[in-house]
Amino acid sequence: MADIINLLPDNIANQIAAGEVIQRPASAVKELLENAVDAGATEIHLIIKDAGKELVQVIDNGGGMSETDARMCFERHATSKIQTIEDLFSIRTMGFRGEALASIAAVAQVELKTRKRGADIGTYIEIDNSSVRTQEPCQTAEGTSIAMKNLFFNVPARRNFLKSNAAEMRHIVDEFIRVAMAYPQLQFTLTSNNQQLFHLDKGSLKQRIIAILGQHYNARLVNVKESTDYMNVYGFVGKPETAKKTRGDQFFFVNNRFIKSHYLHHAVMNAFADIIPADSFPLYVLFIDVNPEHVDINVHPTKQEIKFDDEKVMYAFVQAAVKHALAQFSVTPTLDFDLDPSIQQLDAVSKPFTEQQKTESTHSPLYKSFTQAHQAHVIDRSNSNLKNWKDLYDKPAAPQTESYAMSAYSDADDDDTEQETRTAVTYQSAQPASTASAIDERWQDSTNAQKVPVQVHQQYILSQIKSGFILIDQHAAHERILYERYQRALQEAPVATQQSLFPQTLQLPPADAAIVSEMLPDLQALGYDLEPFGNHTFVVRGTPADIQTGNDQATIEGLLEQFKNFSQDLKVNRREHLIRSMARNNAIPCGKVLSAREMQNIIDELFACTMPNVAPGGKFTFISFKLTDLARMFERNQ
């Protein structure tokens, strides 16, 4: 009987391994940048074309490689970092397993130019689908230049799974920022389609944070630094006013390696628990230095997930370090007390206070009212017509009566304010049943509508129907209404835009800026008037006319957070993500007091929807209760 088990050819084995290591262009960016750092480079240049699908190139001035090393580096598990099993538990370099270049060469066309320091000539290697096509001497600068072209050219199915250029570019920027943030002492540049996106000069960690995340953080960073024999924690956290509705400005590094740790993130959130809103995320860039023996970084192909031998100690130390920093330094908004030069030239500042001016000021009635005992209440009536002001308090206010409360409805017209309507409804709820019934009848007579709906705990709307009553979730119902409105806007007429009197400048993290750029046409159809302003900044000139204006930055940050959450949970297209995110973000929140008219509008619009019973996410919008059910619950004879 013939044997059926065979060894896989190298190119197929490498492609299988590449499936875990190289998932998208950003994966190759991460591996190539880390290799450049390990090579001792001080200047690293990343060049991207077509969001990495056409070209990912990294040029560094590091140590370079010999001719033999240049060829060996593309073999699987060929590495200079590991010699013995003990080395695996004392790793301080970025790469060590020797899988990255072999995986890249298995799914792309690779060109390598490298020259070792002090060598007269370099080496050029061209690899296609794990096969060496060319290897020859060449003239090149000291260091290494490696170009990955046409990613997944030999695996069309995987290429089809790549996202849009904007989405892939966002992941590339994320990886670039993580490496650049960890090594502020190195110079980094990022060029995409011949346009330079980042030029980060060498400097301190604070300078690197400001260069990446924005100049507005300059006076809003709190230094964190705690040291023990077991571990060190250092870095910066943002003051409470820098907290945003969106994630993206959170960075953890262990031994200069970026990691993702929900456990440590929770520790920082606990430190900020009492000083920022529950739905906000603080900025932090924190580095943990710990003996490699206490860390296992070999638990995931991308090395972004690691394990600590004692997570509780890490959690407690990180939380304590952040709390101590916030307590030690001012966490209140910074005020600038430097006077403008033009103000300093004014007479009130530059000239002395003369004796005559002092005499005039001390004899003024205002001065006496604050300096003489028991005179703070004195009012100068010489130039006022307030002689009868005490009459306002001499007569007690007439008590409210039932007729007064009823007249609030009978005399009201369609232009009543929300507060007047809410006062009448609140007063009605405090009356005996007979009074409430009379008010209800008066409301029906004046509006020719159904009975006034009632809000329950500022979360639900109770409305009577013929067979009983329904209980509506105000947030879920409004989410359904907005969702269908936005659907129509994308398919038919765009949503009207309310132009801002004073346009706001919106500063976003680079990754979020890439999302907004990708969604710009759809956002404009949904009523947002946004215009790119360069350097990850947008000008907000208008917002949808049907949402409350005010803090446009908080509104768009909330939309981005919802969009990112939906993108992880739902397998739907980008437009569907966007309108679901907008509907949830702009829906009336629980806890908001609604007028009777607002509640009735929600009821009318909800039952005009094509699918009124569920919100876009699948939650019920209302539950109905029948009279027969109530009679059974109260054991009444039907």
Question: Is residue 413 a part of any domain in this protein?
Answer: no
Please indicate, yes or no, whether residues 25 and 155 belong to a single structural domain of this protein.
Answer: yes
Kindly report the pTM of this predicted structure: 0.62
Please indicate, yes or no, whether residues 45 and 154 belong to a single structural domain of this protein.
Answer: yes
The domain boundary residue, chosen from 337, 372, 393: 393
Token reading at 247: 């994630």
Number of H helices, E strands in the chain: 23, 22
The domain boundary residue, chosen from 378, 393, 408: 393
Please indicate, yes or no, whether residues 164 and 233 belong to a single structural domain of this protein.
Answer: no
Please indicate, yes or no, whether residues 180 and 52 belong to a single structural domain of this protein.
Answer: yes
Q: Which residues fall within 8 angstroms of residue 324, CB to CB, at 6 or more apart?
A: 226
Q: Is residue 207 within 8 Å of residue 184, measured between CB atoms?
A: yes
For residue range 118-128, list pLDDT tens digits in order.
899 999 999 98
Kindly tell me if the per-residue pLDDT of 559 is higher than 50: yes
Q: What is the pLDDT of residue 78?
A: 66
Please indicate, yes or no, whether residues 171 and 27 belong to a single structural domain of this protein.
Answer: yes
Please indicate, yes or no, whether residues 234 and 316 belong to a single structural domain of this protein.
Answer: yes
Kindly tell me if the per-residue pLDDT of 42 is higher than 90: yes
Q: What is the pLDDT of residue 220?
A: 87
**pLDDT class of 626 with cuts at 50, 70, 90:** confident
CATH number at residue 222: 3.30.230.10
Please indicate, yes or no, whether residues 154 and 261 belong to a single structural domain of this protein.
Answer: no
For residue range 241-254, list pLDDT tens digits in order.
888 877 878 999 98
Q: Is residue 499 within 8 Å of residue 508, measured between CB atoms?
A: no
Q: Which residues fall within 8 angstroms of residue 535, CB to CB, at 6 or more apart?
A: none
Using DSSP's 3-state secondary structure scheme, residue 165 falls into helix
Q: Of the ranges 89-93, 467-471, 490-494, 557-561, which one carries the lowest mean pLDDT score? A: 89-93
Q: What is the pLDDT of residue 208?
A: 93
CA-to-CA distance for 213 and 511, rounded, in angstroms?
Answer: 10
Question: Is residue 404 a part of any domain in this protein?
Answer: no
Q: Of the ranges 88-92, 190-194, 203-207, 392-396, which one carries the lowest mean pLDDT score? A: 392-396
The domain boundary residue, chosen from 176, 200, 224: 200
Please indicate, yes or no, whether residues 103 and 14 belong to a single structural domain of this protein.
Answer: yes
Please indicate, yes or no, whether residues 517 and 610 belong to a single structural domain of this protein.
Answer: yes
Please indicate, yes or no, whether residues 484 and 386 belong to a single structural domain of this protein.
Answer: no
Question: Is residue 467 a part of any domain in this protein?
Answer: no
Q: What is the pLDDT of residue 468?
A: 86
Q: Is residue 71 within 8 Å of residue 93, measured between CB atoms?
A: no
Question: Is residue 35 a part of any domain in this protein?
Answer: yes
Please indicate, yes or no, whether residues 485 and 603 belong to a single structural domain of this protein.
Answer: yes
Question: Is residue 3 a part of any domain in this protein?
Answer: no
Q: Is residue 37 within 8 Å of residue 184, measured between CB atoms?
A: no
Q: Is residue 168 within 8 Å of residue 21, measured between CB atoms?
A: no
Kindly tell me if the per-residue pLDDT of 477 is higher than 60: yes
CA-to-CA distance for 552 and 316, rounded, in angstroms?
Answer: 37
Mean pLDDT value across residues 137-163: 88
Phi, psi at 164, each rounded to 5°:
-65, 165
Please indicate, yes or no, whether residues 215 and 362 belong to a single structural domain of this protein.
Answer: no
The number of folded domains in the chain is 4
Question: Is residue 345 a part of any domain in this protein?
Answer: no
Among the ranges 348-362, 440-454, 500-514, which has the highest mean pLDDT value? 500-514
Q: Is residue 107 within 8 Å of residue 152, measured between CB atoms?
A: yes
Q: What is the pLDDT of residue 446?
A: 43
Q: Please, what is the average pLDDT of the chain?
A: 77
Question: Is residue 103 a part of any domain in this protein?
Answer: yes
For residue range 380-436, list pLDDT tens digits in order.
555 555 556 555 555 555 444 443 333 333 343 444 444 444 433 333 333 444 434
**Domain span holding position 488:** 474-623
Q: Is residue 322 within 8 Å of residue 287, measured between CB atoms?
A: no
H or E element at residue 341: helix 341-344
Kindly tell me if the per-residue pLDDT of 311 is higher than 50: yes
**pLDDT class of 135 with cuts at 50, 70, 90:** very high
CATH number at residue 158: 3.30.565.10
Question: Is residue 26 a part of any domain in this protein?
Answer: yes
Q: Of the ranges 61-70, 234-243, 271-280, 345-354, which one carries the lowest mean pLDDT score? A: 345-354
Kindly tell me if the per-residue pLDDT of 634 is higher than 90: no
CA-to-CA distance for 416 and 517, rounded, in angstroms?
Answer: 42
For residue range 219-243, list pLDDT tens digits in order.
889 999 998 888 899 999 998 888 8
Q: What is the pLDDT of residue 287?
A: 95
**pLDDT class of 347 with cuts at 50, 70, 90:** low
